[in-house]
Amino acid sequence: ALRGVSAEALRGVSADARPSFNGPTFRCRDGGAEMPSARVNDDYCDCLDGSDEPGTSACALGAFYCANVGFKPRVLPASRVDDGICDCCDGSDESVAGTCQDACEAQGAAFRAAAAERAAAVERGLAARREYVAKYASAKGGWASEVAEKKTALEEAKASEAALKEQKEAAEVVERAMQDEERKRKEVEEAARAAAEAERRAAEEAALNATRALLERCTAEVSPDPEALAACPPPTEAEPAAEEENSLFGDDDDEDSGDTAAAEAEGGGEAAGEAAGE
């Protein structure tokens, strides 16, 4: 036993705190009162901080240390000391013999088994992680190669797209030029057809006018010379010209043809009269 303090008096004191109880006197931990060592754990609270009663419930601020050999140490509030409930697995918080059984070894063994299982589970998880990391490192090289290939393919596709775009634009330029050329060709052809049609109509009109003039001269002139009358076409030859004139000028030309025929008949009568008079 320590000097001045019996082993029984050191109940509820940790091994680290025991040197403070070594001596004939004890000073409170808060540096306050000092008292004979015999007053430690005498079930009377002498220190305001309750440090003189580590093994009793006398002080409200006191604390009881459970050694719990074979398991984990524990510190209890002083109010739980000798309350009939086993708070420490070694039963040291209850002074009445037979109240508690020392269960620290069994609890420690169960705790260590659970801790070992947890450690094994952690190790299995770490092993799985290492396996995944190794697989990832192996796959990463393949992914890098695949990414490089896809990048190369993408660049080639972009280059091909640019080339196709240039070809398309060039083809559009050629197509627009051909369309312009075709439009101009059609315009030239249309102008040529219009000019030819105008020329044809002008020629037909000139021929018709010449025929009209000839008919008018032949019907208006009265020549005593039979050879002069022979230059005029016979009436049967004038009819096609009149029909052609009618087809070109419509109903008005029909009236003109009728007038011409009447004039020819009248002129013929006058000529016949003059011939009879001679």
Encoded amino acid at 156, one letter: E
**pLDDT above 90: percentage of residues in the chain:** 57
Structure tokens at 206: 């000139």
Taking the model in full, what pTM does it have?
Answer: 0.46
- The pLDDT tens digits of the residues spanning 71-112 come to 999 999 999 999 999 999 999 999 887 889 999 999 999 999
Mean pLDDT of the residues in the chain: 82
Query: Phi/psi class of residue 12: alpha, beta or left (left: φ > 0; alpha: ψ in -120 to 50)?
Result: left
Ranking 73-87, 125-139, 241-255 by mean pLDDT, the lowest is 241-255
Torsion angle of the four alpha carbons 48, 54, 57, 62, in this order, in degrees rounded to the nearest 10: 40
pLDDT tens for 158-168 read 999 999 999 99
Task: List % helix, strand, coil for the chain (3-state, nearest 5).
Answer: 65, 5, 30
Cβ contacts of residue 81 below 8 Å, gap of 6+?
12, 55, 56, 57, 62, 64, 93, 94
Task: Give the pLDDT confidence of 49-82 residue by residue, as tens digits.
Answer: 999 999 999 999 999 999 999 999 999 999 999 9
Q: 149 in helix, strand or coil? A: helix
Confidence check: pLDDT of 262 > 60: no
Band of residue 140 on the pLDDT scale cut at 50, 70, 90: confident
User: CB within 8 A of 70, min separation 6: which ones?
Assistant: 90, 104, 105, 107, 108
Residue 213 pLDDT level (bands cut at 50, 70, 90): confident
**Bridge-based pairing state of the strands 63-66 and 74-77:** antiparallel
pLDDT surpasses 50 at 249 = no
Q: What is the phi-psi region of residue 114: left when phi exceeds 0, alpha when psi lies from -120 to 50, beta otherwise?
A: alpha
Q: Would you say residue 216 has pLDDT above 60?
A: yes
pLDDT at res. 233: 64
pLDDT of 266 above 80 = no
HEC string of 45-90 equals CCCCCCCCCCCCCCCCCCEEEECCCCCCCEEEEHHHCCCCCCCCCC
Q: 8 versus 24: which is more confidently predicted?
A: 24
